Amino acid sequence: MNNDQADPGELAALREAFAVDDGGESALGWAAVRAFETEHGVVLPEPYRTFVAEVTDGSYQGPPEYGLVGLVEGGAKQKLAEPFPLSGAWLWEEDEGPYEDPDAVIEQVGRDGSLMLGTDGCGMDWHLIVTGPHRGQIWQITGEGAFPLGAEFGCTTAESGFAGWVRHWAAGREWFDAPPA
């Protein structure tokens, strides 16, 4: 996962997964992406950054189940320049974690440092982390907890990051497909 430079192979796989063949007409373009980044005080991680600039800005097809939301919609209610508050997965429904004010942290999890990518419904939302040590990772944030998606975190065989998330979906795999430890 390279957050700073788009890999041409990953971009080709993203184009194929989203069946984008409109010559980039559904993409935002670089001027709009840079304006968004300036407005929000962030630089989006690759390959998502190039994807929305050159490939497409949202799609009715997944991932997630109800489609990929556009950049502006996904960042509208977010505080992108604020650091993402978690250092690891947290199931707050069962554990208050090491936080003085867990409710405040829970509120920050779905807002600070993350861009909403879309939902699988029933409060299961997917976010791209745009600031802090988890920059470039995809996290699922639900009403019960939050966790990163990637084989190194368990529960799935998916690769980390936006391209890994899309490839896993395009291959028709279940999100939680890793055998139990």
- Condensed to tens digits (0 to 9), the pLDDT of residues 34-61 reads 999 999 999 999 999 999 999 999 888 7
Residue 141 lies in a domain: yes
Q: Is the pLDDT of residue 21 over 70?
A: no
In a domain, 134, yes or no: yes
Q: Residue 181's pLDDT is what?
A: 64
Burial of 34 from C-beta contacts in 10 A (0-12 / 13-18 / 19+)? middle
Mean pLDDT value across residues 159-172? 93
Q: At what angle do helices 8-17 and 161-170 cross, to 10 degrees?
A: 40
pLDDT at residue number 116: 95
Whether the model pTM is above 0.85: yes
How many domains is the chain partitioned into structurally?
1
Contact 76, 58 (CB under 8 A): no
pLDDT score for 159: 92
Helix (H) or strand (E) holding 140: strand 138-141
pLDDT band at 33 (very low <50, low <70, confident <90, very high): very high
The answer to whether the CB of 117 falls within 8 A of the CB of 138 is: yes
For residue 1, tell me if it sits in a domain. Answer: no
| Dist CA 118 CA 70 (whole Å) | 9
State the residue range of the domain holding 51: 8-69+76-170
The pLDDT of 137-141, averaged and rounded, is: 95
